[in-house]
Structure 1
Amino acid sequence: MALRTLSGGVPAATGRGGSAGEPRAGAGSRRAARQPRRKLPSWVPVDRLAVLLPLARRMRPHYPRPGRQGFRRWIPSWRQLMGSLLITVGLVTTGLALVYWRTEIPEDLNSFATQQDNVYYWDDGTVMARTGWVRRQEMPLEEVPEDVRWAVLAAENASFYEDPGISPSGITRAVTRMLGGGETQGGSTITQQYVKNAYLNQDQTFSRKFTEMMLALKVDNKFSKDEILEGYLNTSWFGRGTYGIQRASQAYYGKEVSELNASEGAFLASLLKGAGLYDPALGGGNRERAVERWEWTLDRMVEIGRLSPAERAKYTKFPEPTEVTGGRTDLSGQQGYLVELAKSYVTRSGKVSDAEFDLGGYQVYTTFNKTRTEALDKAVHTARAKLDPKKREEDTFVRTGAATVGADGKILALYGGPGFLKQGFNESNAVTVPAGSAFTPFVYAAALSEGVMRERQGPRVPVTPSTPYDGRHNASLMTPEGPYWDRDGKVVKGQNDGGKSWGEAITLREAMVNSVNMPFLQLGMDVGLDRVRRHAVNAGLLPSSMGPQKPAFSLGTSTPSAIRMATAYGTFAAKGKHTEPYSVLRVTRNGQKVPLPAVRSTQALSADVARKVTEALEGVMEEGTGATARVPGVRAAGKTGTTQDNKAAWFVGYTEQEATAVVLYRMDLRKLDLMPLDRVAGADAGTLGSRLPADIWRDYTEGRTKGAARP
């Protein structure tokens, strides 16, 4: 084959018997029909293409890799890996640069600066309370003491003045949590937190986190560090409805932020992690967490060189914040407890954060009845007037909780204590007081539903109200295998109140009417304590309040709140149908409905079992231990409740429409230890429990039905 050169210098082949570019003779019509080859433009370096094109063909990735067998064909070479990595890095860098370039800092801050009151309504639609905690006051950074500033930085972002506005390690943690299915949170710098507070929402999503980081870089480049820190301190949420460190200083210490010291600043810094966990006024272990965080923050200030060891040594006593005060709240008396209960329901069930709720604008329509609330408050005050702590030491630390819950689950009224502004602890919702013998109706209901088993591997035997049981004092507790032995090898014996024996055979109804302990102690063992527990929970008691499953379980070692006891007895009133208690009918925010879970009921007990329990409890009020609570003209059922150590007294009564539980106990809230009720209100020595709960129920029922038509 002869060679010739194109105008660009590329060799071209010429066939035998003809010139280049012309088909050979006899090539046939198909070759003759081919289009003539286009010439390359004169500016194309054809000689270089001749070298580069083969090289490009060799560099072109061959995947799966030729010349390999099996799975090895799919393993990329190091050249392919490096090439892919470089391309990926380039694309990501370019993408991030483009996003950063297109990110703009919003001109306006979030709506917290235009917050509104939250309004609560009684069940009849009239206004119950307005809460207006949320206020924000701009405070120049120079007015914030340097020690207070560094307390915040030590707790939140010690490298604030050196970082670029974001934390690479924090970003890594956020991405890791996201990939692991967790929330994309944690590790944010002060700048990121300020961006989130001032420009974004509180959603924990990857897109929001990514936007937060881009904005943080922009903000860090546009504003000085001091400007960012000032904005952060003025927009952060500190609890008690306050935004900004100036309002927080007023809410927790009643003074200007300029008057704070490093110790007080360290406490306020702890609130940035969540006031719901660190505000001591909210109870629930908050004070212990706050003290631990306060100590850590001061130590951290020493570690980063912003507080001398000598100064640190001065701060050994925790700077106790003041009680919840300030703002136009209408939280005096019982209304504060009602508001807090309703708010808790909205934030929990409506999935509204505390910070969002405190921005305001919510209209909360509650289930609370004003007439019942006032009547219950009056009845409790009348009973407590019989206490005289100045003359009788036994009358000190006496506490009362009460609640009325409708058969349909609506919380209609409660008594939470002497007043929310005096005591934030809600005694109607306390879970520290044993139910005592007020728990026995659940044992009775379980027996009527399940029957009993007295022989090992034997059949379960039905139980009726007339079934006889041993009512003797100190009778041995029996199991299918024989006597029940304790860990010390002693036979466990049941004891009746006052040591009274009721004979070897007393019917279950008679035992309920007269509050005889021994039959129900044995009945619980015969039914099975696990079954008793299940029926109590199905009726409305919380699993977390259940006592240990030992024989005494049947006599009320569980610690339900008054709200839950009223709910569970309301299941009997509702013919066995249970509805979880709720305090809010509906919620709107500036006219827009806030979704709440639908109210649902379950058939916890058969209507027949509920009827038999009610018949026995009606006997309690007609002829038994609850006779002092009887109200003429009102058909009601109820049960007294005492504990063997005499540290609690209950009365729970109900009609067809609602149930009310009243509990009386002695407790020093600083120690959280129950004390005996002996001689409370001048009772005789040896008197078990107290008559005050039954008196409260009677006076309350009379007060709210006075003037109304009676059957």
Structure 2
Amino acid sequence: MGRAEERRARQRGGHRAAPSRRSAPTAGTGPAGGGGKSGKSLIRRMFTWKKILGTFFGVCLLGIAGFIGLYLYVDVPQGNAAAQRQSNVYKYSDGRVLARKGDVNREIVDLAKVPRKVQLTFVAAENKSFYHDSGVDFKGTARGLLNTLSGKGKQGGSTITQQYVKNFYLNQDQTVSRKLRELVISLKVDREKSKDEILAGYINTSYYGRNAYGIQAAAQAYYHVDAERLSVAQGAYLASLLQAPSQYDWAVATPTGKRLVQQRWNYVLDNMVEEGWLPKATRDGLKFPYPKTPKGAPGLDGQKGYLVELANQQLEQQLMEQEGLSRGQAESAVIDQGWTITLNIDRKKQAALEKAVKTELTSKLDKKRRKVDNDVQAGAVSVNPKNGKIVALYGGVDYYKHYFSNATRTDYQPASTFKPVILAAALEQNATTQDGKPITAGTIYDGTSRRQVLDQGAKVGFAPPNEDNRDYGDITVQKAMNASVNSVFAQMGVDVGMDKVMSTADKLGMDTKGMQAVPAQTLGSMGASPLEMAGIYATFDNHGYKVTPSILKSAENRGRSAHIPNAVGGSVISRTAADTVTSVLTGVVDDGTAQESVAGNPLRQGQEVAGKTGTSDCNRSAWFTGYTPDLVTSVGLFGEADKAGGTGCDGRPIKKNDHVSLKGAMGGGRVNGGGPPAKIWAAYTFGVTDEAEFDLNTTQGAAVEPTDTPTVSQSPSDTPSQTPSSKPPTSSAPPSNSPSDTPSQTPSSKPPSQSPSQSPSTGPPTDPATEDPLDPDSALDQ
């Protein structure tokens, strides 16, 4: 064999030998051991780098597909109700907080009302990348999921968007499903909302401790200011609180908690410097803003509840009229919905009215010695006649002790305070007596008690007694008003026409729906509230321009403002008629039933006053409604049974809350309108008004200076002149937007096509018709 062949043979042999050596049996191998060659090949075939990589990408694709499905499946839900409910805030006219009302102490504010640098303190504290991220911190979310699965509890790292979603759309549950929903919703919210909307939602829904939800409540709770007045240092503290509200509240924090919150506060400010949001020099000059001592949230005790109640009612009424809502819908739109409602209530006048009631009434009640003193209720409303603002209101001894507001309840008779309405109707209608003579302040009537009322010579079956059954004989309308002579005004009402009298009452502001136009109404036997009577007399004071008293100054909710209509409308009676009523009513004060308590009051400093007393039958109510040129106040005292027992004036068993007599209250006899009500009125009014004179356009009544030779005769005087009195008014008509002090001398007597709505009653339902105006034992009417 040649060398070449031998070499080839060795090569072939070597090539053949290699497989033989690889397949040679070794210890532990062979058929009995299962074979090494096949086992190694299977594992290597199953875990090749290609298959591992393919599996990884497959899982990723499945995850992406699952997330896409989840993203498409999960919608952004409606905000949860608990996160949206918030307190209504009620303020005095000067902006001071009167009360907060709501189950949740939250007031949502627009982001624009929060200083920009205060906004940034929250971003610096929670999420520096907030303005650049997609709304989700995937790393932090993954860490949170792992911690939840491993039972380690929740962990930080969520973005502001995620925290807002958790607060507003979801809940605080620590579950995998909730965290996944949070992730998806956060991505969607970030796409659908602006960063400012998200930040506003976050700071308005977060909890800050001290029962404060949202930045406005927190600003009040910790620094007693509104959010718009927060400083950067204060904002940084509030932002720090969100990490651990209870632990970081300085008022209750442990030394460790105080140290940690100061560290957190420094961390927030340093982040702001780092991000270029705060100059370092400014930051270095900031000192830790120690929070103020906690104080209880204002409640509805005392008069606050009555004020809040009327404010809600009037706002609901406006929403019903302006937005077409039902009563139920309007209530749902107002109660605990985050309104900031500013009232027309003047703090000083409110305090003065409360003091007057205490001084002249409640301090004199001895409920242990005199049972009747437990039955005395008082109500009062004070109105600026030039703009219709309710500047003070007294609803009862305490909102928590007496639910019904005595200021707005309409179940008691206004009694003789209704007599000026009859005179106004006579003057407005140019009415005449039975013999065709015009009715004026100088017209003479028969003032005999129980005189039979005649209608065109025919008896009408009505003959009311005067107080104490006193006969006055022939008497002028002026003197009949001074002495509150029932028989005169009963006849006058029939002369005018009771339908016209009730129509005038309606135009002036009394709710006459369902009232019968019968002669008995001349005694004020219908129901009325101090609020209504204040509005009627304010219209007299405002020269016939309709005044509908309003407690609302403004009402704002989530960036929108409710429209508050002008409380003063057009002319409903002529200026001459209104001014003549005022002139006549000055006689009641200076020479009539209010002389002792009002005209002779030592507090009076020259103020001109007009007004009328009223005392209902059986002495169940007593009134004084009076006014100066710039303030009208109606005060009513009401007998309301504190408990059941005994019998009333009508012989019926007395039930709790029934109308009962005031006789004997405060240790006296009959409670007349010229007594406690007039004293309350004077103590209040003369303390808050300055000397002023009425500007009257009339030639009639007690306010007009008499001529040298006054005419007194049986013949009625001439029709009221349009010529101004000795106190000449100016002659410009009031502008449409607001009443003028100098309306036209010849205003139209036509009523406006629409009259403002009446304020709702809050009194218990009682039928005024059950009162007997002919009760011989009644006080009728002072």
- Change in 2 beyond 3 A, CA 1:495/1:633: same
Measure the CA separation in 1 of the matches of 2:684 and 2:625.
12
Aligned match for 1:109, one of 75, 79, 94: 79
Please name the residue that 1:476 is paired with: 452
- Change in 2 beyond 3 A, CA 1:611/1:454: closer
Matches within 5 A, 1:139-288: none
**Alpha-carbon offset, residue 111 of structure 1:** 5.5
SS in 1 for 2:617: coil
Aligned match for 2:403, one of 406, 417, 424: 424
Aligned match for 1:683, one of 659, 664, 668: 668
Measure the CA separation in 1 of the matches of 2:459 and 2:394.
44
- Change in 2 beyond 3 A, CA 1:532/1:340: same
Amino acid at match of 1:386: K
Question: Could you say which structure has the higher strand fraction?
Answer: 1
Please name the residue that 2:103 is paired with: 133
**Alpha-carbon offset, residue 467 of structure 1:** 0.7
Measure the CA separation in 1 of the matches of 2:431 and 2:642.
42
Measure the CA separation in 2 of the matches of 1:668 and 1:335.
24
Higher relative contact order (CA 8 A, sep 6+): 2
Aligned match for 1:333, one of 299, 302, 305: 302
Aligned match for 1:704, one of 669, 685, 688: 688
Aligned match for 1:397, one of 362, 375, 380: 375
- The answer (yes or no) to whether the contact 2:665–2:671 under 8 Å persists in 1 is no
Please name the residue that 2:579 is paired with: 611
**Alpha-carbon offset, residue 590 of structure 1:** 3.6
SS in 2 for 1:354: helix
- The answer (yes or no) to whether the contact 2:593–2:674 under 8 Å persists in 1 is no
- Change in 2 beyond 3 A, CA 1:519/1:105: same
| 1:658 equivalent in alignment to 2:628 | no
**Alpha-carbon offset, residue 119 of structure 1:** 1.9
Amino acid at match of 1:127: V
Identity level (%): 34
Structure 1 residues 634-643 or 404-413, which shifts more? 404-413
Measure the CA separation in 2 of the matches of 1:406 and 1:589.
27
Please name the residue that 2:607 is paired with: 634
- The answer (yes or no) to whether the contact 1:621–1:638 under 8 Å persists in 2 is yes
Please name the residue that 2:468 is paired with: 498
Aligned length: 412
**Alpha-carbon offset, residue 689 of structure 1:** 5.6
**Alpha-carbon offset, residue 135 of structure 1:** 7.0
**Alpha-carbon offset, residue 577 of structure 1:** 0.6
- The answer (yes or no) to whether the contact 1:396–1:666 under 8 Å persists in 2 is no
Measure the CA separation in 2 of the matches of 1:691 and 1:380.
13
Question: TM-score when scaled to structure 2?
Answer: 0.50
| 1:694 equivalent in alignment to 2:663 | no
Amino acid at match of 2:617: Q
**Alpha-carbon offset, residue 530 of structure 1:** 0.6
Please name the residue that 1:172 is paired with: none
Unaligned runs of 5+ residues in structure 2 are 1-71, 107-167, 170-295, 321-328, 644-655, 694-782
**Alpha-carbon offset, residue 358 of structure 1:** 3.7
**Alpha-carbon offset, residue 660 of structure 1:** 0.4
Measure the CA separation in 1 of the matches of 2:334 and 2:500.
41
Question: TM-score when scaled to structure 1?
Answer: 0.54
- What is the CA deviation profile of residues 392-433 of structure 1, one whole-angstrom value per residue up to 9, with x for unaligned ones? 222221100101122122111110011112222111011111
- Change in 2 beyond 3 A, CA 1:111/1:513: same
Aligned match for 2:332, one of 334, 345, 355: 355
Measure the CA separation in 2 of the matches of 1:394 and 1:453.
45
Unaligned runs of 5+ residues in structure 1 are 1-101, 137-197, 200-326, 486-491
Amino acid at match of 1:379: A
- What is the CA deviation profile of residues 168-227 of structure 1, one whole-angstrom value per residue up to 9, with x for unaligned ones? xxxxxxxxxxxxxxxxxxxxxxxxxxxxxx99xxxxxxxxxxxxxxxxxxxxxxxxxxxx
Measure the CA separation in 2 of the matches of 1:443 and 1:598.
27
Aligned match for 2:512, one of 543, 554, 560: 543
Measure the CA separation in 1 of the matches of 2:672 and 2:364.
17
Aligned match for 1:123, one of 93, 101, 106: 93
| 1:451 equivalent in alignment to 2:451 | no
- The answer (yes or no) to whether the contact 1:363–1:588 under 8 Å persists in 2 is yes
Matches within 5 A, 1:16-55: none
Please name the residue that 1:342 is paired with: 311
- The answer (yes or no) to whether the contact 2:605–2:691 under 8 Å persists in 1 is no
- Change in 2 beyond 3 A, CA 1:409/1:687: closer
| 1:557 equivalent in alignment to 2:525 | yes
**Alpha-carbon offset, residue 349 of structure 1:** 0.8
Measure the CA separation in 1 of the matches of 2:432 and 2:442.
17
SS in 2 for 1:396: helix
- The answer (yes or no) to whether the contact 1:133–1:329 under 8 Å persists in 2 is no
Aligned match for 2:485, one of 504, 516, 519: 516
- The answer (yes or no) to whether the contact 1:132–1:329 under 8 Å persists in 2 is no
**Alpha-carbon offset, residue 453 of structure 1:** 5.2
Amino acid at match of 1:657: D
Please name the residue that 1:364 is paired with: 341
Amino acid at match of 1:401: G
CA RMSD of aligned residues (A): 2.9
| 1:570 equivalent in alignment to 2:538 | yes
Measure the CA separation in 2 of the matches of 1:648 and 1:500.
21
**Alpha-carbon offset, residue 337 of structure 1:** 1.1
SS in 2 for 1:653: strand
SS in 2 for 1:130: strand
Amino acid at match of 1:577: Y
Matches within 5 A, 1:577-592: 577-592=545-560
Amino acid at match of 1:501: D
Measure the CA separation in 2 of the matches of 1:687 and 1:402.
17
- The answer (yes or no) to whether the contact 1:112–1:359 under 8 Å persists in 2 is no
Measure the CA separation in 2 of the matches of 1:702 and 1:600.
25
- The answer (yes or no) to whether the contact 1:398–1:665 under 8 Å persists in 2 is yes
